[in-house]
Amino acid sequence: MCATCKVWIYKKRRKQELVDYCGGECQRCGYNKSNAALQFHHLDSSTKLFRVGANYHRKWADLTAEADKCLLLCANCHAEEHERKNNGP
């Protein structure tokens, strides 16, 4: 197996572990069909240290500490959350 494939598998497994840690489904609508559609939304951007989805290589304790500041949302609910935040209720 090539190094690129190993990294891809590692990231996919790490995201699965983190999705499981966060409850395994969108915290708004319950969507759980594809991890690719699940995203980490920071509740308070001022406390954000790094983007969870771009840093699966970090230590587990660092990942979970950052994920604890987030909602696990599907792509649709995440987009709606940003629209609500930018445009008001």
Full set of structural domains in the chain with CATH:
3-87 (3.40.1800)
- Position 89 scores a pLDDT of 60
Q: Residue 54 contacts by C-beta under 8 Å, 6 or more apart in sequence?
A: none
- The one-character DSSP state at 1 is -
Nearest to 85 by CA among 46, 34, 44: 44
- Position 85 scores a pLDDT of 83
- Position 83 scores a pLDDT of 92
pTM of the model: 0.89
Mean pLDDT by 10-residue block, N- to C-terminus, for the chain (89 residues)?
90 96 98 97 95 94 97 97 82
Tell me how far apart the 2 most distant CA atoms of the chain are, in Å.
49
- Position 20 scores a pLDDT of 98
